[in-house]
Amino acid sequence: MEHKIATLKEIAKKLNFSVSTVSRALRNHPSIGLRTTAEVQKLAKELNYEPNQTALLFKQQKTHTIGLILPNLKEDFFSQAINGIEDIAKQKKYSVLIGQSHDDVEQEIQIVNAMKNHRVDGLIVSISKYTENYDHLLKLGRYNIPIVFFDRVPNLSNVDKVSSDIASGTRQAIEFLIKNKHRRIGLINGPKEMKSCKDRTDAYLEVLKRKRIKIDVSLLESTDLTQAKTFLAMENLLNLKKPPTAIVTINDYVALDAIQFARKAKLKINKDICFVSYANLPITSYLENPPLASVEQFPYEQAKKAAEILFNIFEKQKDSTVSERAFSNIVIEGQLIVNKKAT
């Protein structure tokens, strides 16, 4: 025998009350007497009544859901970031709807539209490596859906964002290599569309200039983060008349591909050639010859802070007296972690 879900109308009919009286009684409204409230709540319990959450949320114009868009869920960096966001969302009794762009701009646009149509209350985004136009994201302001960016952030001043200080981390990495007697230092950067890549190149050049080391632009290579492009970058560097003795790579995954190529070229890792990377992912600890060091970018802390900013925006939205607000631009200092196993 099927059990139908009890409704407000059914409770009202059984008790000969109006639907509005039943609704108020279930919410312990002060305008309803204690006896009536107890009678309504007793019957609701007997009938296993559950409030219509969809109707309640529509009335409140809130879904208690936030959207999260990431480039790729398989990366440990973003797994840690998810934990930071979910920890804050759990405290606030919010659900997190997750989508991955796979570093495809059209996919990113599609996910943003889907999040809007699902009426998320806000969005946290790490943009794809090829995103240069942000109209599909900024238009959410028309729907009163705030966005906070983290890690991969747009080069805009009128947005809320949390990122790692790439320039600082790069300076630490290059100075570390110079201290270890390296003078021919290569750089395998990412796509030019990524703001962090320009920051990385600028810091690299600044340190070499400050240390009075001759700048050779042939030591600057880039990759789209695929293995094929990283192999090509390594081939170009190793075929130089004076190849580098050390290479800084955009992240640990690129470092792994670069190390693999170097091994195929019969080079001894951390002897013939050394590597320093970014993200300090746990996976590198399993390598026999890991990178000498990696810049910790604190993905959990970045994402957690982004979530805190988003929920702070929600609170300000409730305050009708707040007409304008300042945008947050939080930059978290990177930290070079030297791998004792490699040194």
Asked if CATH classification 3.20.10.10 holds for the domain at 165-296, the reply, yes or no, is: no
* CATH 3.40.50.2300 residue window(s) in the chain: 63-163+299-332, 165-296
Instruction: Report the side by side order of strands in the sheet with 95-100.
Output: 95-100, 65-70, 122-125, 147-150, 160-165, 329-333
Map tokens 């304008």 to a residue.
324
- At 128, which amino acid appears? S
CATH superfamily of 63-163+299-332: Response regulator (3.40.50.2300)
pTM above 0.85, yes or no: no
CB 135 within 8 A of CB 167: no
The per-residue pLDDT string of the chain (343 residues; one tens digit each, 9 = 90 and over) reads: 344 668 888 899 999 999 899 989 988 888 899 999 999 999 988 888 877 655 555 555 678 999 999 999 988 999 999 999 999 999 999 999 999 999 999 999 999 999 998 889 999 999 999 999 999 999 998 888 999 999 999 999 999 999 999 999 999 999 999 999 999 999 999 998 888 999 999 999 999 999 999 999 999 999 999 999 999 999 999 999 999 999 999 999 999 999 999 999 999 999 999 999 999 988 887 788 889 999 999 999 999 999 999 999 998 887 755 557 789 999 999 999 998 766 6
